[in-house]
Amino acid sequence: MSIHASPRALRASSWWRPVAARLDRFAGGVFILPAVLVILAFSIFPLLTSLYVSLSRLGFSEGGVQLKFVGFANYAKLLFGIDRPHFLGVSGPLTPIGIAVLVAIYGLFAFLLYRYARGPNLTVGGLVGRVLATAIAGALVWLVVNTILTSGRPGTLVVTLVYVAVDVSVQYLLGLGLALLVVQHLPGRRFFRVVFLLPMMITPVGVAYLFRMLVDTSKGPLYPLWAHFGLTDISWVTNPWGARLAVMVGDIWQWTPFIFIVLLAAIETLPHELVEAAVVDGANRLQVFWRITFPQILPASSRASRSSTCRTCSRTEAPERPLNRSRCMPTRSGERSTSGAPRRSPTCCSSW
């Protein structure tokens, strides 16, 4: 006995099939939509709140605080007002070294723009974007040179730029070197893969206290080393750049494993056929790395560098913990105040 479908059932089936196919295509997005909404809520809401607070002025009132909208007055105060020396620093007269650095960097910028303008991939949007990026980079370079390589004083913007640039660059170079090392067929490489990740598992406060002890030249685990070189009368935290270097070393030690594990995963997923073909053609290790390995891990390198840059810019606990002793640390010169007590050194407190 044969069973024939009714016309109504056929019409319902023909209507439902494209709907079901469309639902199948969007099923993956629907399943991850709740997680995406939660992430956006915890990311976008604090960003909008911070933006509103930056456009307001905080005042204390009876029963709490009051936010008064002032527009761009806070930004104008940083760039042109009373906070300008603290934010941008104090410029000094250019030295021959500063002029040479500016000429070299600006010449490099001009060469890169000229090469892009004469290249086959020239577009109006790309040229305008590169000109704007070059103008911003040139202004920042001028600010750094005029406050560091002169008799001036760097502001918080310059200190942050130097800190982030040095910190992320050293992290990337160390992470790349360690990743290239552990992919070699060396004994114990699996053990060192685990050991290299340990600093990232320690809390930032623990790392800060660790390096607070290490940079203390009067006692601590490195005291015999400081005493051997006659450095027991030198304090890292009484010099602004010494304090910044101490914080950089601690941050580099803790977060180099992040870039290491990202680059290691990228290197291990590379196809071995390309490397073997290059070796057969007579390429050495440097050529294999520069022509094959590095271009293929460039996307992972870019993502890891951007993540490290954002994290380094937003860090606030690292300078506070290892250097808060500078608020109560006397200078090594033996200088006394009028009351006879050792005079406190505020240098490091104002270096950030």
> Could you tell me which of 317, 147, 343 has the C-alpha nearest to residue 247?
317
Contact residues for 106 (Cβ-Cβ < 8 A; gap 6+): 138, 141
Q: Which domains does the chain have, with CATH numbers?
A: 22-68 (no CATH), 81-154 (no CATH), 158-332+345-352 (1.10.3720.10)
Amino acid found at 79: L
Contact residues for 16 (Cβ-Cβ < 8 A; gap 6+): none
Phi, psi of 119 (to 5 degrees): -80, 170
Cα dihedral 103→106→109→111 (10° resolution):
-40
- Cα separation, 93 vs 323, whole angstroms: 31
Q: Give, for all 352 residues of the chain, the pLDDT tens digit.
A: 445 555 555 555 566 667 667 767 777 777 888 888 888 888 788 888 888 888 888 888 777 778 888 888 888 888 888 888 888 888 888 889 999 999 999 999 999 999 998 888 888 888 899 999 999 999 999 999 999 988 888 888 899 899 999 999 999 999 999 999 998 888 888 888 888 888 888 888 888 888 888 877 777 788 888 888 887 777 777 778 888 888 888 889 999 999 999 999 999 888 888 888 888 888 888 888 888 889 999 999 999 999 889 888 876 555 555 554 444 333 333 343 333 433 333 333 334 4
CB count within 10 Å of CB 88 equals 19
> Could you tell me which of 88, 350, 152, 337 has the C-alpha nearest to residue 237?
350
- Cα separation, 200 vs 169, whole angstroms: 18
pTM for this entry: 0.74
Phi, psi of 152 (to 5 degrees): -80, -165
